[in-house]
Homo-oligomer: A and B are copies of this chain.
Amino acid sequence: MSDDDDRLARVALTWLAEPGTRSVHALVDQLGPVAALELLLDGGAPEQWLRSAVAARCREGDPRAVAAEALACRERLGVRLVTPDDEAEWPPQLDGLRRMVLRGATRRVDIETAPPLCFWVRGAWPLREALTRAVAVVGARAATAYGVHVATELGYGLADRGWTVVSGGAFGIDAAAHRGALNAGGLTVAVLACGIDRPYPMGNAGLFDRIAETGLLVSEWLPGAEPFRPRFLIRNRVIAAATEGTVLVEASARSGATQTFNRAVALHRRPMVVPGPVTSAMSVGAHELLREQPSARLVTGVPHVLEEVGRIGVDLASPARAPQRPRDTLDDEAALVLEAMPRRGVIDVDRLAARAGVTVRTAMRKLSLLEELSLVHRRDEGYALTTPARAPTPPRAEVMGPLHDDPGRPANGR
């Protein structure tokens, strides 16, 4: 059996049954794609519904001929087929799709799902490399100006630091995230729920061309496949599995984006949510996830996202969530004592304790702490504030300017 036979069988199988069908993937695992296809075409599918589905498809055409025709279009469409046999290019993290456990509010659900059998790919980057350090940014199609702004900044900032921005190519948040990444000269991947030759929606055709020029368009479906609604759900598992974390920017109550998000949770990827105005219907779904999904992490910008998905020493200048200024580590009593210090000159402990409204013992204990942090220093007559030059305050850009770059962190070029 040649490599071409394998590819043809994989394509035929995705035409016979929707991608992600667990029993089909199990057959391919056991028998290889060619024998699995033969078994299905001989009416040997293990389940009645699959036998019916295969029979129905075969009335529409010969699966091998359909697959061969699709493969023959590759050059004309400027696309290639990537399969798990292309080991250098297949993203290993998709193997996580062999089992997903969705946890609802009240019960645990094992969703039977499966990794893709193959991808149609348009664009020059090797797929595996493009998805090596990737974050998904997803959200509402009917995004607000706020959501579009936030998604664009996230796409820009992540791409600017060498992260691939993955999304679904939809209107609204998806498109904004792709555009942000493109504007940064970075890498972005659109995972489609339809044929790669007819990316949906048509209104984003120009965007899809730009993505393919510098990034990748990817689809599990044959060229010409229509974007039926259930396919978005199937596609979302790939967005979640291919990335190290999913950032949800805007979502109305129970939107499709929250499904991608729940898949990210089920796959143990980092689930992140950007909050928004509570007056906006487009943030209701985001706030719902933050309230109901215990593992959802609130993020306000690129530095928070990198805290979740980045590797210490590579993406972060300091351990995640460490206090940035000595002052921030202070408990309330130490803060009171520091507050009570005169701006200039020296104060003795008794007077300081009285000003701070604490006991002398507490004042002395807290003064040791403050001295250790170089915030005060001891003189013969008492204590004095350390001048700012002696206690440098690193920038807190990750908190103060959530959506802007922190110049204190190294950029990570690819």
Contacts and interface: CB of A to CB of B under 8 A. Distances in A.
B291 A278 contact: no
Interface string A143-159: 00010011000000000
B357 A48 contact: no
Contact of A287 (B287, B298, B321): B298
A332 interface: yes
Contacts of A111: 332-333
B291 A109 contact: no
A350 B275 contact: no
Nearest to A401: B281
Given A49-B350, A329-B106, A331-B109, A277 B276 contact: yes
Given A23-B359, A331-B104, A332-B109, A403 B279 contact: yes
Contact of A109 (B52, B276, B281, B333): B333
Given A253-B400, A298-B291, A331-B109, A52 B354 contact: yes
Contacts of A17: 357
B107 A357 contact: no
A297 B318 CA distance: 28
Contact of A301 (B47, B146, B278, B340): B278
A150 B279 CA distance: 8
Contacts of A350: 48-49, 52
B396 A49 contact: no
A399 B278 contact: no
Contacts of A339: 229-230
B49 A360 contact: yes
A399 B230 CA distance: 26
Interface string A356-375: 01111011000000000000
Given A279-B150, A290-B290, A253 B399 contact: yes
A323 interface: yes
A328 to B, nearest CB: 8
Contacts of A49: 350, 353-354, 358-360, 363
B359 A277 contact: no
Contact of A281 (B105, B146, B340, B400): B400
A308 B327 CA distance: 32
Interface string A206-236: 0000000000000000000000011001100
Interface string A58-72: 000000000000000
A284 B402 contact: yes
Nearest to A307: B291
A102 interface: yes
Interface of A: 17-18, 20-21, 23, 47-50, 52-53, 56, 102, 104-107, 109, 111-112, 146, 149-150, 229-230, 233-234, 253-254, 259, 262, 274-279, 281, 283-284, 287-288, 290-292, 297-298, 300-301, 304, 321, 323, 328-329, 331-333, 336, 339-340, 350-351, 353-354, 357-360, 362-363, 396, 399-400, 402-403
Given A105-B321, A253-B400, 6 more contacts: A18-B357, A102-B332, A104-B329, A109-B333, A111-B332, A276-B278
28 contacts: A23-B359, A49-B354, A49-B359, A49-B360, A49-B363, A52-B351, A52-B354, A53-B354, A109-B331, A112-B362, A146-B279, A230-B336, A230-B339, A230-B340, A233-B332, A253-B396, A259-B332, A275-B290, A275-B298, A276-B276, A276-B277, A276-B278, A277-B277, A278-B300, A284-B400, A284-B402, A288-B399, A291-B297
